[in-house]
Amino acid sequence: MNNEKQIRVLVLDDDKFMLEFVSHLLRELGVNEVLVAEDGKAGLFVLSAQVTAVDLLICDIEMPGMDGIEFLRNIADQSYSGKIVLFSGVDPDLLKATERLATVRGLNVIGTLAKPVTVGSLATILEQLASPVRRNSDLSRMRQIFNLEEIKQALLADHFDLFYQPKVAVSSGHVTSVECLARWRHAHYGYVSPDSFIPVIEQCGLINEFTRRILTKSAQQLDVWLQQGLDLKISVNVSMENLDRFNLPEIYEKAVGDCNVPIDRVTLEITESKLGKDFAQTLDILTRIRLKGFGLSIDDFGTGYSSMETLKHMPFTELKVDRIFAHGAAEDLATRAMLESSIKLGKVFGLNVVVEGIEIKADYELATVLGCDEIQGYFIAKPMSPDEFIKWLFDYEKLNYKH
Ligand code: C2E
Ligand code: MG
Ligand code: MG
């Protein structure tokens, strides 16, 4: 067999013939290790028995006993980090809904396969695996939950760094701003994603100290860039748990002021799904944050419960459409409709509309046509260390590449 690929694939289907057929095709295509399971329970067993992670799971949705949706829920709980392809003879809308559900649970679905499966459709899927597959050694983006003591130690030792992801203005094609994203520099796991530690920091009451430090670091970095003559702004994420004290606007004003950075170059991003615990207090704090001159962004818009209500009352300056309404919008009518209405809604409220999570050119072009102001996503650039960012920025602006 030529072209052998060092990847491990698990195929899950209750139909024995399909299992044999797909396994055969995969081997023909050079996959060196194909595992099979006839039902959800067996699939869970196979996954848990592996010492090395499975790279790709090809999973049927319709199965007796544990169906595909239950199976995906289970592996999401176990933080399965490989890629997933769903296949089934069910109605395409149902397949799409299952894909979305899996994505919302944090799983990495890279596509769907309609039955009958062909060698061509499998080959296309395998090509997508060419991008580096997460291994056990790369736990940075896994939703592994760390214990409180370990996180406290990391806070004390200041083991948190910032990565920067650019936002580009649609009108000019220039980089206007960067989102500052926290990463834990872990001795064993390398850079750990914020989803693994922010919830713990929130629960243990350390989020205020954490956010103040992140804001200070971000403002210090902005100060350096401004001194280098770069015309940039920054966005920093603020947790709803931060809004528990009335003097928060003063704390943030001081953190930014100490770095000699103009406050109007700093936007605070707040996730909408958590807004509205104590409405009066939230409104009080956010309004005074605005009065101090900060920008205020409603993050992950569309994934919460109070979108319209929140927009009507809270003093936001920016709306960030969540990536689940951007990813694949050019191909999927329902996603496109949601993207379009979110952008329109933001414009009606006079907000700066940012679409995040843009990964491909087609979605970039669509978001542009639909009238958003700024775009953020892997299509422009991934979050980068300060050094990487500066190198990237000079290359990008040199080309002044208009997509
Ligand atoms: P967010 O504020 O919505 O940040 C955007 C997230 O989407 C980032 O994940 C970014 O890496 C990711 N992303 C950007 N472009 C793309 C894309 O094209 N495709 C995909 N699939 N993902 C993309 P990250 O850095 O893992 O951060 C996750 C969340 O953690 C953030 O979501 C934010 O809510 C939270 N977070 C990060 N830093 C902080 C912080 O300092 N404080 C607080 N409270 N939360 C933070
Ligand atoms: Mg954000
Ligand atoms: Mg977001």
CATH number, position 88: 3.40.50.2300
Containing domain of residue 373, as a range? 148-400
**What is residue 25's three-state secondary structure?**
helix
Residue 57's nearest CA partner among 17, 13, 115 is: 13
Considering the domain architecture, whether residues 154 and 195 belong to the same structural domain is answered as yes
Considering the domain architecture, whether residues 122 and 188 belong to the same structural domain is answered as no
- Note whether residue 154 is domain-resident: yes
**End of a domain among 122, 141, 160?**
141
Give the mutation target among 168, 237, 388 for probing the ligand 1 site: most ligand atoms within 8 A of CB: 237
Ion ligand 3: protein residues whose beta carbon lies under 5 Å: 299-300
Considering the domain architecture, whether residues 90 and 206 belong to the same structural domain is answered as no
If you take atom 25 of ligand 1, which residue's CA is the nearest one? 181
Give the mutation target among 181, 207, 361 for probing the ligand 1 site: most ligand atoms within 8 A of CB: 181
Domain count, the chain: 2
Which pTM was predicted? 0.73
Give how far the C-alpha of residue 393 lies from the chain's centroid of Cα atoms, to the nearest Å.
22
Which residues are paired to 59 by β-bridges? 12, 86
If you take atom 7 of ligand 1, which residue's CA is the nearest one? 357
- Note whether residue 1 is domain-resident: no
Which residues are paired to 295 by β-bridges? 267
Considering the domain architecture, whether residues 202 and 155 belong to the same structural domain is answered as yes
**End of a domain among 111, 141, 171?**
141
- In angstroms, the CA 150 to CA 152 distance is 6
Confidence at residue 141, expressed as pLDDT on a 0 to 100 scale: 42
- Ligand 1: distance of its center to the CA of 385 in Å? 14
Considering the domain architecture, whether residues 153 and 269 belong to the same structural domain is answered as yes
- Note whether residue 294 is domain-resident: yes
DSSP label of 63? -
- Ligand 1: distance of its center to the CA of 165 in Å? 9
- Ligand 1: distance of its center to the CA of 239 in Å? 12
Atom of ligand 1 nearest to the CA of 238: 44
If you take atom 44 of ligand 1, which residue's CA is the nearest one? 239
**Ligand nearest to C-alpha 297:** 2
Considering the domain architecture, whether residues 136 and 230 belong to the same structural domain is answered as no
Considering the domain architecture, whether residues 335 and 359 belong to the same structural domain is answered as yes
Atom of ligand 1 nearest to the CA of 195: 30
Ion ligand 2: protein residues whose beta carbon lies under 5 Å: 237, 269, 299
**Ligand nearest to C-alpha 269:** 2
- Ligand 1: distance of its center to the CA of 399 in Å? 27
If you take atom 34 of ligand 1, which residue's CA is the nearest one? 237
Q: Token digits for 210?
A: 């954490």
If you take atom 43 of ligand 1, which residue's CA is the nearest one? 237
- CATH number for position 330: 3.20.20.450
Considering the domain architecture, whether residues 250 and 389 belong to the same structural domain is answered as yes
Atom of ligand 1 nearest to the CA of 356: 15
- Ligand 2: distance of its center to the CA of 297 in Å? 8
Considering the domain architecture, whether residues 165 and 106 belong to the same structural domain is answered as no
- Ligand 1: distance of its center to the CA of 181 in Å? 6
- Ligand 2: distance of its center to the CA of 348 in Å? 22
What burial letters (b/e) apply to 69-93, b meaning 16+ CB within 10 Å?
A: bebbebbbeeebbbbbbbbbebeee
Considering the domain architecture, whether residues 71 and 218 belong to the same structural domain is answered as no
Cβ atoms of 198 and 230 within 8 Å: the answer is no
- In angstroms, the CA 327 to CA 339 distance is 10
If you take atom 23 of ligand 1, which residue's CA is the nearest one? 357
**End of a domain among 80, 113, 141?**
141
- In angstroms, the CA 241 to CA 400 distance is 40
CB atoms within 10 A of CB 174: 13
- Ligand 3: distance of its center to the CA of 270 in Å? 9
DSSP assignments along 185-237, one per residue? EETTTEEEPGGGTHHHHHHTT-HHHHHHHHHHHHHHHHHHHHHTT---EEEEE
**Ligand nearest to C-alpha 328:** 1
Pocket of ligand 1 (CB under 6 A): 165, 181-182, 193-195, 198, 211, 214, 237, 239, 269, 271, 299-300, 323, 356-359, 376-378, 383
Atom of ligand 1 nearest to the CA of 201: 44
If you take atom 41 of ligand 1, which residue's CA is the nearest one? 182
Considering the domain architecture, whether residues 234 and 353 belong to the same structural domain is answered as yes
Atom of ligand 1 nearest to the CA of 376: 15
Question: 231 Cβ partners below 8 Å, 6+ apart?
Answer: none
pLDDT 10s per residue in the chain (403 long)? 446 667 889 999 998 888 998 999 999 888 989 999 999 999 998 888 766 778 999 999 888 888 888 999 999 888 888 999 998 777 777 888 888 888 888 888 888 887 778 888 888 888 877 654 333 333 334 445 577 888 889 998 999 999 999 999 999 999 999 999 999 998 888 888 898 889 889 888 899 999 999 999 999 999 999 999 999 999 999 998 899 899 999 999 999 999 999 999 999 999 866 555 677 888 899 999 999 999 999 998 887 655 677 788 889 999 999 998 998 899 989 899 999 999 999 999 999 999 999 999 999 999 999 999 999 999 999 999 999 999 999 999 887 644 4
Confidence at residue 235, expressed as pLDDT on a 0 to 100 scale: 98
